[in-house]
Amino acid sequence: MCGEVQDMAAEEPALRRYYRNTILQYDSLDCALVHHLSNKLANDSVGSGEWYKLLEGVLREPCGGKLVELMRADLQAIMTRDPACEGAAHALLNYKGYLGLQASRVAHELWLRKRRSLALAIQSRVSEIFGMDIHPACRIGRGVMIDHATGVVFGETAVIGDDCTILHGVTLGGTGKDRGDRHPKLGCGILIGAGALILGNIRIGDGCKIAAGSVVLMSLPAHTTAAGVPAKIVGRAME
């Protein structure tokens, strides 16, 4: 990644300081990412140095190795799946879906450790700066890509399996009628188009494709394609 960024710095001398401060001076992805995230989360109330200590502290815990592995897998997912991605450094620096997801992964670990107030503070800052509202209790698998990100909402009891791709404006929400376990459970390898609303404690099977703008209110068997308002099964999802 450093080669890519050195080319970028040579191309735009005015951004050289920015590239050095965000990527070039660090010797690992997670180190660069935690610094970059700390700068994004910072405001007058909690500065970037304080955020850095908090985030970096989580990476030093036993869960840290798993988190770093997830950060790499999500980046790899973008490189593989997004035709508009210009490179790993581009995704790391510029993709709010990637940055917000990594912050949410840290918040989730904090939530599991009962550090709820900090986890919720991260959720709130991610919602403000990236427009994605992911409850820290939501469980998210590896190799997940959230593209464009604005308007994404994942509820408290939602679950997302490995290798899912989720476009902007997608809600994994409740129906408003229930308390407790009330949000969707997604399998692996699912693609959810822009603006789709998946509501209620339903199961979406592995490999499903949900068309943009759908409103999904019922469980879907694996490898089906659903579309419409309300969504119906319209076919078998092929890879």
12-71: contacts with a second copy (CB under 8 A): 12, 14-15, 18, 21-22, 39, 42-46, 48, 50, 53-54
* CB within 8 Å of 164: residues ≥ 6 apart: 141, 144, 145, 186, 188, 189, 190, 191, 192
Residue 124 within binding range of a second copy, rule CB under 8 A? yes
Residue 133 within binding range of a second copy, rule CB under 8 A? yes
Residue 117 within binding range of a second copy, rule CB under 8 A? yes
Residue 184 within binding range of a second copy, rule CB under 8 A? no
For the bound state, the minimum distance from the C-beta of residue 73 to a second copy, rounded and expressed in Å, comes to 20
Q: Cα separation of 226 and 239, whole Å?
A: 15
Phi, psi of 49, deg, nearest 5: -65, -40
**84-113 positions binding a second copy, by CB under 8 A:** 84, 86, 90, 93-96
Q: At what angle do helices 48-59 and 96-112 cross, to 10 degrees?
A: 60
Among residues 1, 2, 120, 233, the one that binds a second copy under rule CB under 8 A: 120
Q: Which run of H or of E encompasses 171?
A: strand 171-173
Other CB atoms closer than 10 Å to residue 212's CB: what's the count? 14
- From 59-67, 70-78, 178-186, 218-226, span contacting a second copy (CB under 8 A): 178-186
